[in-house]
Amino acid sequence: MSTAEISRALGKITCPCGLVGVKQGEKHDLTTVAWFSQESSNPPQVMVALHPNRYVLELLDAAGEFVLSILADDQEKIAVFCGSHSGRDVDKIKELGLATVPSAVVTTPGVKDALANLECKVSNRFQSGDHIIITGQVVAAQVNSDKKPLLYYEHNITHWGR
């Protein structure tokens, strides 16, 4: 089977679109993620896959915590911007005028209009292929909306039911 065919087949996996946010000192960065999932119920844990060059990973390694914000289908502009700009070069929150909300347990704020914000403490980190897998224990959560989720499908951001 060709590499192109494998890539096409993998593109059929539909993934939710979200942001991993980390605040370390005065630095606060968000990056777009589509490879994340709940991976444990007891304790409640999620996993996210981050490319090793992402600035947010540097902050995450120092902070030991993050917020996973699950995006709604009307937040495509946020996903595209946060996935295509580096926090090393631009303050994404300021550029987008993005409203945040204080978290209950972790230092990192959540995204105000996200479907949900999951506050996480890092429980594990390991290399897997060309990404770093971060597992985080969910220590608090906020559900903000009953909108439909923003999705990643066929290597593109798409909308539920469109």
Q: How far, CA to CA in Å, does 140 sit from each of 23, 43, 109, 117?
A: 16, 12, 12, 8
76-108 residue pLDDT tens: 999 999 999 999 999 999 999 999 999 999 999
Domain that holds residue 139: 16-149
Note whether residue 161 is domain-resident.
no
Note whether residue 125 is domain-resident.
yes
Note whether residue 113 is domain-resident.
yes
pLDDT of residue 157: 74
- Please give the backbone phi and psi of residue 152, each rounded to the nearest 5 degrees, phi first: -115, 120
DSSP output for 86-136: -TTT--HHHHHT--EE--SSSSS-EETTSSEEEEEEEEEEEEETTEEEEEE
pTM (predicted TM-score): 0.94
| Tokens 């903000």, located at residue | 144
Note whether residue 77 is domain-resident.
yes
104-161 residue pLDDT tens: 999 999 999 999 999 999 999 999 999 999 999 999 999 987 899 999 988 777 655 4
State how many domains the chain has.
1
Note whether residue 9 is domain-resident.
no
Note whether residue 86 is domain-resident.
yes
- DSSP designation for 77: H
* 3-class secondary structure, 6: helix
CATH number at residue 111: 2.30.110.10
Note whether residue 8 is domain-resident.
no
Note whether residue 73 is domain-resident.
yes
